[in-house]
Amino acid sequence: MKQTVFITGATSGIGMATAKLLAQHQFRLILCGRRKNRLERLQKLLESVTDVTTLQFDVRDKSSVDESIKSLSKEFQQIDVLINNAGNAHGLDSIQEGNTEDWDAMMDINVKGLLYVSKAIIPQMIERNSGFIVNIGSTAGKEVYPGGNVYCASKYAVNAINKGMRIDLNQYNIRVSAIHPGLVETEFSDVRFKGDTARAKKVYQGYKALQAEDIADIIQFVITRPYHVNIEDLVVFPTAQATATMVNKNNA
Ligand code: NDP
Ligand code: 8X3
Q: Give per-residue pLDDT as tens, 20-31.
A: 999 999 999 999
Q: Which of 116, 145, 151, 156 is catalytic?
A: 151
87 lines ligand 1 (CB under 6 A): yes
The CA-CA-CA angle for residues 199, 57, 197, to 5°, reads 10
Atom of ligand 1 nearest to the CA of 137: 44
Please report, rounded to a whole number, the percentage of residues in the chain having pLDDT higher than 90. Answer: 98
* Domains, the chain, with CATH or none: 4-236 (3.40.50.720)
Say if residues 191 and 88 touch (Cβ distance below 8 Å): yes
pLDDT at 251 over 80: yes
CA pair distance 17, 220, nearest whole angstrom: 11
- How much is the pTM? 0.98
3-state secondary structure of 146: coil
Q: Is 151 part of the annotated catalytic residue set?
A: yes
How many CB atoms neighbour CB 252 within 10 A? 9
CA pair distance 243, 101, nearest whole angstrom: 28
Atom of ligand 2 nearest to the CA of 138: 5
Mean pLDDT of 92-96: 98
88: left (phi over 0), alpha (psi -120 to 50) or beta: beta
For 129-184, the pLDDT digits (tens) are 999 999 999 999 999 999 999 999 999 999 999 999 999 999 999 999 999 999 99
**What separation in Å is there between the alpha carbon of 13 and the centre of ligand 1?**
7
Which one-letter amino acid corresponds to residue 68?
S
CA pair distance 179, 232, nearest whole angstrom: 8
Residues composing the chain: 252
Atom of ligand 2 nearest to the CA of 140: 6
Say if residues 223 and 5 touch (Cβ distance below 8 Å): yes
Please report, rounded to a whole number, the percentage of residues in the chain having pLDDT higher than 70. Answer: 100
66 lines ligand 1 (CB under 6 A): no
3-state secondary structure of 91: coil
> CA dihedral defined by 95, 97, 99, 100, rounded to 10 degrees?
50
